[in-house]
C-alpha cells in the first residue's frame, strides 16, 4: 500500500463481500442472535458526548490487564460466564451474545483453548460515539493501532450497523480501514503496509450511534474444533452441543444417550467435557502468531490443557442413528477428537431404543422441519417420543427442536425451556427432569424432603421450594389406573366363567370376551384358540401419551394374567376412527398366523400384521345363514376380504363361487382359506377387481342365485379412480348387483356404518327385510356392531 494518493481497502479484507453480508444480517435484528457491543460503562468514562468524543481504549497490550469480550449465540451467555469463572475470570454479561471480562495476554490463550460454548474471543479496542463519518474516521485514526498491529500485519475490516445514522456498512468499513492505515503509517513511520504477516481482523460495530472497535483473536469460530471433517446432514454446532450438555444433569458417572446422534457431536462433546479435554487443543488461532505474545504464553497455555486432561472414565457414552453413513462419520470424528474409546455408536431406530441402565441423561437433537423437510413429515416421530422414552423411567431428557407446539404434541410440559439458536434456526431446548439417583430405593417413591437440590445444574437452579419431579418424566401408572386394572381383571374373570362351556357347544374356538364393558376401559378382547387379540378404541381420557402407553401395557398384562394367556400369545392393536384407507391398513410384517375353527370349518387368521385378523367374528351367524341357502347356488362374494363367506357357501353345497376383491393379498388369503377346507377347483373363481368395475364389466356377466355384499364404510384407495362412500353409493352398487342376479336370487347386504340409512324406496322391486338383530352373536355386547339386510329379487 503506497503512501500518498487515495488509500483503498486492501483486497485481502474481502470488504465488499463481508460488508454486503453483514449489512443483510443487520437489517433484521431477529436473524442475528448476538447484538452489537455497547460499552456498559458510564458515558463520562468514554470522554463525554460530543460528536468527536475521546475514545476509551484498552491499555497497551504489553500492560498487565485489558478488556476482552467472549461472543456467543443468544441464550448461552450464562453458560459462557460460568466457563470463564471456572478459568478464574470474573465476567459480566453485556448486550445479548457478549460477555465482558478482563485479563492479561495469557487470558487470550486460555479463553481460546478452553471456552466450549463461546464463538470468539475479541480484544475491545475502543467504544465511542460516531454519529457521522468524521467522528468515526478521526476517532479511529487517533487510536494507538501500532501497539497492536505490526507494520506487516493483515487487518481486514468487517462491520455491522443497527439503529445508527451510519447505516452503510461498506462505507463504515472503508472509513475505518483508511483511518487504521493512516494511524499505522504514522505509528510505524513507514510508507507501505504490505499486509503479509499475522492476521488482525478488525470489526466496526455500530448500535444506536455507538461505535465499538474490536480485534478478533480467534479466527475461524471456536465451534470448529478440528475433529469434524465429516458431517451428517443438518449438523449441530459443537458450541451449542457443549452448552446443552452443561445445562443438563449429566456427569461422568451417569449413562449418556443420544438417539439421533448424526455425526456424533453431542456424545463427542460430552466425552471432551467428561475427560476435561480443552476443545481448542487441536487447532490454531491467528493470535498465536502475534508478536505481542512471548512463546512461553501459548506454550504454557497448551501445556496446561495437557496437564489437566483426565483419563478415560468408566461410562461409555452411546449415540444411535438409523443412518449408517452418519455413524461412519461419527466414528471418524470421535477418533480425531481422541475419544473413540469413550463413545459407542450403534445403528438403531428410535422406536427400538432401550437401556437397562438407570438415572442416565438423554440429550438429543431430533430432526425438525427446517433441517430435512417439511415439519408434518416428522409429526409421527414426535408423537412417538413419550411412548419410546417411557422405557427410561429414571432418566432425565433434554431435547432441542424448532418443531412447533412440541409440548402440546407430546402432551407433557417441560420442567424448563430455553430459547437457543442452532445456526440461524430459532429452537427451544426442552428440559425434562427425571428422579434423582437414590441407591437402595425406587426413585418413583423418593420423598420430596430428600430431593437433592444440587442435582439441578447451578445455572438453572430454582428456589428450594420448587423440586424436580420424583416421578418418571414420561409414563407412569396412577392410582386410578391401578384401580381400573382391578376392575378389568374382575370383569374378565367373570366373563371367562360365563363363557366357560359356551364355545364348545357352539363349535367355535374364536369369540369375544370383552367389549368395552367398562366405559373407561375401551378395549376389545377376542380369543383365537389359545391367543388373545386386544384392540383399543379411541376415547377421551386424562392421561398423557406416555402415561396412556403404560396404562395400555398394564391392561394387556392384566388380561393375560386373568385369562391365563402368556405374553407372547397376546397381540395388541389400536383401532382408530376409520379414515380413508385405514380400514385394513397393513401394520407389520411379522405374519403370525394360526388356524381357528368355526362351524366345522377352519380359517387362517393373522394376529400380528393388520388391525383386523382376517375373520370378522360378528358375522358368524350371517355366515351360517348363507351356508343354509347355498345348496346348488351360483354364489357371488363382493368385497370378499379373506373369503370366509365363500368358504361357508362352498361348505353349504354351492355349485359355483366367485370371490371379488381389489386387494391381491386378501384374494390370495381367501384362496388359502378355501384350500384349507378342501375346496380347490375350477368352479371357484377369484377375481381382482373393485366392485363397481366388476359389475360394469360385460365379461363378468353371470346370473347369481346368492350374493353377499359387505362393503367398507369409506375408501379413497389410490388404486381406484373413484372414492367409495357406502351411504352415497349403496343404491348404485345394489342395483348393479341386482342386475347380475337370477330371478328369486338372494342378496345379503351388511354395513358397520352406524348412521347408515338404507334407501328402500330405490329398491321397490326387491323384498327387503332387516335381520340385524338375528345376525349379531350373543358374545357381542354391542348389538349394533353391524346392520344386515336380506333382499330377495323378484321371480
Nearest to 115 by CA among 153, 51, 173, 69: 69
β-sheet bridge partners, residue 597? 602
What distances in angstroms separate CA 674 from CA 110, 580, 600, 668, 677, one per listed residue?
80, 29, 13, 10, 5
- Of all residues in the chain, the percent with pLDDT exceeding 70 is 84
Q: In terms of residues, how long is the chain?
A: 795
d(CA 267, CA 339): 10
**Cell representation of residue 213:** 472497535
Instruction: State percent of the chain over pLDDT 90.
Output: 77
Predicted local confidence at residue 572, as pLDDT: 96
Stretch 570-596: mean pLDDT = 73
Q: Is 410 helix (H, G, I), strand (E, B) or coil?
A: helix
pLDDT band at 17 (very low <50, low <70, confident <90, very high): very low
Residue 447: its pLDDT value, please? 32
Q: How many CB atoms lie within 10 A of CB 240?
A: 27
pLDDT tens per residue across span 734-776: 999 999 999 999 999 999 999 999 999 999 999 999 999 999 9
C-beta separation of 674 from 646 below 8 A: yes
Q: How large is the average pLDDT for residues 58-71?
A: 71
pLDDT at 469 over 50: no
| pLDDT of 34 above 70 | no
Work out the number of other CB atoms within 10 angstroms of the CB of residue 507.
Answer: 11
| In the block, residue with C-alpha cell 474481502 | 14
Helix (H) or strand (E) holding 372, with range, is: helix 369-372
pLDDT of residue 10: 38
**Pairwise CA distance, residues 671 & 73, whole Å:** 65
Residue 464 above 90 pLDDT? no
Higher-confidence residue of 461 and 562: namely: 562
CB 626 within 8 A of CB 654: no
pLDDT tens, residue by residue, 683-723:
999 999 999 989 988 766 789 999 999 999 998 876 667 78
pLDDT of residue 295: 75
Dihedrals phi, psi of 68, to nearest 5 degrees? -125, 155
pLDDT in tens, 327-375: 999 999 999 999 999 999 999 999 999 999 999 999 999 988 654 455 6
3-state secondary structure of 406: helix
Cβ–Cβ under 8 Å, residues 432 and 483: no
Query: Cell for 719?
Result: 388404486
Helix%, strand%, coil% for the chain, nearest 5 = 35, 20, 45
List, in order, residues 6 or more apart from 448 with CB less than 8 Å away.
467, 470
- What is the model's pLDDT at position 716? 80
Query: Which pTM does this prediction carry?
Result: 0.79
Cα 204 to Cα 65: distance, rounded to the nearest angstrom: 22
| pLDDT digit string, tens, across residues 76-117 | 999 999 999 999 999 999 989 999 999 999 999 999 999 999
Span 174-197, pLDDT tens digits: 999 999 999 999 999 999 999 999
Instruction: Report d(CA 427, CA 368) in Å as an integer.
Output: 10
Instruction: Report the number of secondary-structure helices (H) and strands (E) in the chain.
Output: 21, 30
Which has the higher per-residue pLDDT, 580 or 559? 559
The predicted pLDDT at position 660 comes to: 96
What are the pLDDT digits (tens) for 117-142? 999 999 999 999 999 999 999 999 99
Task: Please report the pLDDT score of residue 310 as a whole number.
Answer: 97
- The angle that helices 545-563 and 379-389 make with each other, rounded to 10 degrees, is 60
Cβ contact 643:669 at 8 Å: yes
- Return the pLDDT at 232: 62
Q: For helices 238-246 and 77-86, what crossing angle results, to 10°?
A: 80
| Cα gap 181→200, rounded to integer Å | 13
pLDDT of residue 95: 87
Q: State the chain's mean pLDDT as an integer.
A: 87
- Residue 587: per-residue pLDDT: 67
Residue found by looking up cell 445445562 in the block: 247
Whole-number CA gyration radius for the chain: 38
What would the pLDDT profile of 272-327 be if each residue is shown by its tens digit? 999 999 999 999 999 999 998 877 899 999 999 999 999 999 999 999 999 999 99
Instruction: Give the range among 347-351, 425-429, 494-498, 579-583 with minimum mean pLDDT.
Output: 579-583
pLDDT for res 460: 42
Is 476 in a helix, a strand, or coil?
Answer: coil
Residues 6+ apart with CB under 8 A from 21: none
Mean of pLDDT values over 249-266? 96
Spatial distance between the Cα atoms of 471 and 446, rounded to a whole number of angstroms: 9
Distance of CA 286 to the CA centre of its chain: 39
Taking Cα atoms as reference points, which of 361, 358, 363, 362 lies closest to residue 438? 358
Torsion angle, alpha carbons of 33, 36, 40, 44, to 10: -160
Mean pLDDT confidence for 463-484: 76
Quote the CA–CA distance of 476 and 564 in Å, as a whole number: 25
Question: Is residue 34 within 8 Å of residue 226, measured between CB atoms?
Answer: no
* The pLDDT of residue 470: 57
- Distance between first and last Cα of the chain: 110
Per-residue pLDDT band for 575 (boundaries 50, 70, 90) equals: confident
pLDDT at 375: 62
Phi, psi at residue 236, to the nearest 5°? -95, 135
Nearest CA among 407, 460, 366 for reference residue 75: 460
Q: Shortest CA distance to 599 belongs to which of 575, 620, 613?
A: 620
- Residue 386: name the closest of 353, 420, 345 by CA: 353
- The answer to whether 446 and 435 are in contact (CB under 8 A) is yes
Q: What does each C-alpha distance from 221 to 236, 383, 420 come to in angstroms?
A: 14, 36, 18
The continuous run of DSSP H or E covering 645 comes out as: helix 644-651
Distance in angstroms (rounded) separating the CA atoms of residues 575 and 524 = 10
Tell me how many degrees the CA angle 222-226-230 measures, rounded to the nearest 5: 115
Amino acid at each position: 500500500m503506497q503512501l500518498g494518493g487515495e488509500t483503498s481497502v486492501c483486497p485481502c479484507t474481502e470488504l465488499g463481500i463481508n460488508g454486503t453480508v453483514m449489512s443483510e444480517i443487520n437489517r433484521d435484528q431477529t436473524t442475528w442472535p448476538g447484538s452489537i457491543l455497547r460499552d456498559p460503562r458510564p458515558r463520562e468514562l468514554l470522554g463525554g458526548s460530543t460528536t468527536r468524543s475521546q475514545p476509551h481504549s484498552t491499555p497497551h497490550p504489553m500492560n498487565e490487564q485489558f478488556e476482552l469480550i467472549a461472543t456467543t449465540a443468544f441464550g448461552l451467555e450464562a453458560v459462557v460466564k460460568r466457563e470463564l469463572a471456572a478459568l478464574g475470570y470474573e465476567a459480566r454479561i453485556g448486550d445479548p451474545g457478549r460477555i465482558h471480562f478482563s485479563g492479561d495476554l495469557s487470558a487470550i490463550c486460555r479463553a481460546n483453548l478452553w471456552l466450549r460454548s463461546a464463538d470468539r474471543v475479541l480484544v475491545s479496542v475502543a467504544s465511542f460515539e460516531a454519529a457521522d463519518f468524521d467522528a468515526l474516521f478521526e476517532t479511529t485514526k487517533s487510536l494507538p493501532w501500532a501497539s497492536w498491529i505490526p507494520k506487516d500485519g493483515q487487518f481486514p475490516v468487517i462491520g455491522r450497523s443497527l439503529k445508527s445514522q451510519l447505516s452503510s456498512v461498506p462505507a463504515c468499513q472503508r472509513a475505518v480501514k483508511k483511518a487504521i492505515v493512516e494511524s499505522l503509517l504514522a505509528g510505524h513511520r513507514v510508507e507501505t503496509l504490505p499486509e503479509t504477516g499475522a492476521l488482525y481482523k478488525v470489526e466496526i460495530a455500530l448500535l444506536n450511534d455507538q461505535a465499538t472497535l474490536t480485534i478478533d483473536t480467534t479466527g475461524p469460530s471456536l465451534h470448529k474444533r478440528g475433529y469434524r471433517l465429516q458431517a451428517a446432514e443438518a449438523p449441530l454446532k459443537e458450541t451449542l452441543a457443549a452448552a446443552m450438555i452443561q445445562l443438563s444433569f449429566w456427569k461422568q458417572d451417569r449413562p449418556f444417550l443420544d438417539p439421533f446422534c448424526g455425526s456424533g457431536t453431542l456424545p463427542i462433546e460430552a466425552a471432551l467435557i467428561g475427560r476435561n479435554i480443552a476443545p481448542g487443543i487441536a487447532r490454531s488461532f491467528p493470535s498465536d502468531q502475534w508478536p505481542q505474545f512471548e512463546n512461553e504464553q501459548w506454550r504454557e497455555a497448551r501445556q496446561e490443557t495437557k496437564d489437566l486432561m483426565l483419563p478415560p472414565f468408566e461410562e461409555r457414552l452411546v449415540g444411535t442413528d438409523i443412518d449408517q453413513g452418519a455413524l461412519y462419520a461419527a466414528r471418524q470424528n470421535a477418533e480425531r477428537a481422541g475419544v473413540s474409546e469413550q463413545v459407542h455408536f450403534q445403528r438403531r431406530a428410535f422406536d427400538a431404543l432401550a437401556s437397562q441402565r438407570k438415572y442416565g441423561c438423554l440429550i438429543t437433537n431430533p430432526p425438525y422441519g427446517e433441517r430435512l423437510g417439511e415439519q408434518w413429515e416428522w409429526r409421527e416421530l414426535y408423537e412417538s417420543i413419550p411412548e419410546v422414552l417411557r422405557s427410561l423411567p429414571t432418566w432425565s431428557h433434554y431435547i432441542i427442536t424448532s418443531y412447533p407446539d412440541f409440548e402440546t404434541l407430546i402432551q407433557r410440559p417441560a420442567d424448563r425451556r430455553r430459547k437457543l439458536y442452532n445456526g440461524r434456526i430459532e429452537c427451544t431446548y426442552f428440559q425434562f427432569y427425571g428422579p434423582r439417583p437414590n441407591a437402595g430405593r425406587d426413585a418413583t417413591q423418593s420423598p420430596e424432603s430428600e430431593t437433592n437440590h444440587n442435582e439441578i445444574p447451578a445455572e438453572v437452579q430454582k428456589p428450594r421450594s420448587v423440586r424436580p419431579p420424583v416421578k418418571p418424566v414420561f409414563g407412569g401408572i396412577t392410582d386410578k389406573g391401578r384401580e381400573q386394572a382391578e376392575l378389568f381383571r374382575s370383569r374378565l374373570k367373570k366373563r371367562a366363567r360365563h363363557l366357560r362351556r359356551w364355545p364348545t357347544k357352539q363349535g367355535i374356538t374364536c369369540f369375544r370376551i370383552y367389549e368395552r364393558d367398562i366405559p373407561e376401559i375401551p378395549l376389545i378382547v377376542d380369543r383365537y384358540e389359545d391367543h388373545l387379540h386386544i384392540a383399543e378404541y379411541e376415547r377421551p381420557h386424562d392421561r398423557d401419551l406416555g402415561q396412556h402407553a403404560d396404562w395400555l401395557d398394564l391392561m394387556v398384562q392384566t388380561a393375560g394374567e386373568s385369562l391365563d394367556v402368556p405374553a407372547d400369545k397376546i397381540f395388541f392393536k389400536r383401532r382408530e376412527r376409520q379414515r380413508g384407507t385405514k380400514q385394513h391398513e397393513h401394520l407389520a410384517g411379522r405374519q403370525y398366523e394360526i388356524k381357528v375353527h368355526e362351524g366345522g370349518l377352519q380359517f387362517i387368521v393373522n394376529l400380528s400384521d393388520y388391525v383386523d385378523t382376517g375373520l370378522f367374528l360378528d358375522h358368524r351367524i350371517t355366515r351360517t345363514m348363507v351356508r343354509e341357502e347355498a345348496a346348488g347356488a351360483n354364489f357371488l362374494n363382493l368385497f370378499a376380504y379373506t373369503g370366509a363367506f365363500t368358504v361357508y357357501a362352498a361348505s353349504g353345497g354351492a355349485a359355483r363361487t366367485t370371490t371379488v376383491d381389489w386387494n391381491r393379498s386378501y384374494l390370495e388369503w381367501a384362496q388359502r382359506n378355501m384350500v384349507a377346507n378342501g375346496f380347490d377347483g375350477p368352479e371357484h373363481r377369484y377375481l381382482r377387481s373393485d366392485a363397481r368395475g366388476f359389475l360394469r364389466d360385460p365379461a363378468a356377466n353371470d346370473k347369481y342365485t346368492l350374493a353377499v355384499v359387505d362393503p367398507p364404510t369409506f375408501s379413497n384407495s389410490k388404486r381406484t379412480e373413484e372414492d367409495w362412500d357406502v351411504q352415497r353409493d349403496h343404491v348404485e352398487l345394489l342395483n348393479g348387483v341386482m342386475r347380475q342376479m337370477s330371478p328369486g336370487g338372494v342378496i345379503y347386504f351388511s354395513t358397520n356404518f352406524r348412521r347408515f340409512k338404507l334407501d328402500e324406496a330405490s329398491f321397490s322391486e326387491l323384498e327387503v327385510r332387516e335381520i340385524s338383530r338375528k345376525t349379531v352373536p350373543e358374545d357381542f355386547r354391542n348389538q349394533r356392531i353391524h346392520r344386515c339386510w336380506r333382499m330377495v329379487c323378484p321371480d
